[in-house]
Structures are given as C-alpha cells and as structure tokens.
Amino acid sequence: MRFFEEVLDICNKLINWYRENKRELPWRNTTDPYKIWLSEIILQQTRVQQGLPYYEKFTNQFPTINDLADASEQDVLLLWQGLGYYSRARNMHYTAKMIVDKYNGNFPENHNEILALKGVGEYTAAAIASFAFDKAYPVLDGNVFRFISRLFGIEKPIDTSTGKKEITKALDLIFNTQKPALFNQAIMEFGATHCTPKKPKCDTCIFNMQCEALGSKKVMSIPVKKGKTKILQVNHTYMCFIHDNKTYIEKRTAGIWKNLYQFPLIEEDIKPDGITKIVNRYLKTPSKFKISDVFDSTHILSHRKIQASFFTIHLDTSPIFLKNNIFEIPLADLTTRYPVSILTQNYLKRLNL
C-alpha cells in the first residue's frame, strides 16, 4: 500500500508544482495538433528561449498546415535560417504536404500514424498524441530522462537499450493515465527548469526526501551516458566573388546544409598565398582580382568542428565559371531571398548585409 501511496504522491506533487510554476508558452494554450507539432519540431535540439521567436514567425507566416504545405521549400528554409539542423525544416515541409494530400489537411489522431510521419520519433509522437488529443502516451525527452534517472537512482547509461528500458519502466509507474497532457507537461517542465543538468535546485526540490541520486550524493553523475560523440574537424574555404555589386553562389545538394546556398566552396584549408591557384580553378578565363578581406570563423556542430575562411574577392570583369551550378545574384538579395548557414550569416554581418 505504501508503494502506491508514494507513486501517487510523486504524480500529484509534479502536477501541483507545474500549476504553480509553469512558464507561459503559446503552444501550451492550444490543442491544435498543427501548432503543437510545429513547436515540437522546432524544440528538437533547441532551447525554448531560442525556439520561441521561430514558432511565432512560423505561425504568423503559415497559420495553418495548408499554408505551410503551399509554401516553397526555399521560403521554409529562409524562415528557419539560424536555427540549425535543417533536416527538421525539410522533413516538416514534406510532412505538411503529405498530411494535406493523405489526410485532407487534418492531422492524424492515431499514435501509430503520427509516429509514421517523417521527422517524428517516439517522443514527438507521444507529445502530439497527449497534448493535442489527450491520449495516454508518456513523453520521454532529455529532461524526463534526467529527472527519472535521478529520482530512481538509475545508473545504467541512458544511451543504451537497457538504460532506456529501465527509465521507461520507472516512468510508467508514476505516469498519470487520467491526465496525460498535464502530467507530460509537468514532468518536462520540472526537468527543464528545476532538475537541470548543471545547477539542479536540490535544496528547494519537492522530491529531495525521495530522490535516490540526492540521497547517495550522485546527482551530478546521473544520468550516465555510455560515450561521447567524437568530433571531426573539417576545413571550409569560401570564395565570395564580387563584381559590380553582384555575387555568385551555389546550392548545396547534400549534407547537413542541403538545399541552402553558399559561396563557392573548397573543403580544404587554403592560405591567402594559395588563393590565386584556387580562383583560377573556378574561372573559365583569367581575371584580375583583389582580396579585400579574409574572415576566419569556427562553427561547432554535434559531430564536427568546422574551421572556415571567407575570402572577399573583387573581380575586374564579370566572371565565367567552369562549374555550371554557380549563378549570379545581386549581393543584397543574399540576405532576403536565399537561406544560408549560420557560418555564412556571420560573414554577411561582417559585410554589413
């Protein structure tokens, strides 16, 4: 009997805490599955503070899933620009079009159908099913992993199948099947704002008498991960050719920045004294040029570190390129019409564009 009372106590404490301490966020004031799905996709690998302006931009420009489906991918990527992990935007646009075609613009309510959508995993499917349709599917994001593993003292690595199974079993014990949406919001919010990764508020925690990690003084060592991702360093050299207020760009066809635009790229570390050979590698006819600026930048992703150099190259004559995928645009258009990576955005700020 005591066990069930303790489980009920944990559940009730979470919900009561949430009602008193929750942040007011726009996607919490709706059961519209489109807006909930949109918020969940944006918040994948993105903090709330960073994602909120993007949510507002998308709901303003694309208020319905039909509006998003009707948009061009270029417009979607342009609005997404700066948020990173661009496959999320491409998948989101693809899924919007599929829901319009297959479900006549009505978001599917069935959990398995939601899970089958491109870009939707177990966590996102559970979040949409519970928040939009109040179905009893527990969510398991990073915040929940952390809170559950600390509360129950689970030391098996959370990035292994055995660790995930143990945490799922523990979560199922306290999950409120009668109020799934409210419970899911509560447990995620508690992990995000109270049981935080680096500075958890253990002194004022409502669970400090029940938390196994606190009792064994292992809060900062839990959750456990089996191993860290190895980061590969790569070099990018971009050439910003400029002539008569025009510049020249190409569209990426693969990789993390697929379908974004960039200046001609050499994936090597090129020094200023070697740039002449590179320029002539790109131009069909020789041209006089002057390098007015070199901008070096570092960009760290989850699995790679990019050391980038941007050469600002002023040409005397209009260039003819050997590669036929490079095309001319007004320099000013690059910030308003063509989605680019955060690396290129930082460089354009240097050019006051």
Q: Hey, which residues are catalytic here?
A: 40
33-43 and 48-61 helices cross at what angle (nearest 10)? 140
Q: Tell me, what DSSP letter sits at residue 1?
A: -
With vertex at residue 239, the alpha carbon angle to CA 283 and CA 285, rounded to the nearest 5 degrees, is 10
Calpha distance 6→12 (Å, rounded): 10
* Cross-strand pairs, 297: 308
- Mapping DSSP to helix (H, G, I), strand (E, B) and coil, where does residue 266 land? strand
Backbone angles phi, psi at 13, to 5 degrees: -60, -45
Per-residue CA distances from 29 to 32, 36, 185, 234 (Å): 9, 10, 12, 43
CB-based burial, 213-244: b 16+ in 10 Å, e otherwise: bbeeebbeebbeeeeeeeeeeeebbbbbbbbe
Helix (H) or strand (E) segment spanning residue 238: strand 232-243
CA of residue 167 relative to chain centroid, distance: 24
115: its two tokens: 């899970």
Handedness of CA 40, 45, 220, 194 (dihedral sign): negative
- Mapping DSSP to helix (H, G, I), strand (E, B) and coil, where does residue 155 land? coil
Calpha distance 250→263 (Å, rounded): 6
150: its two tokens: 């600390």
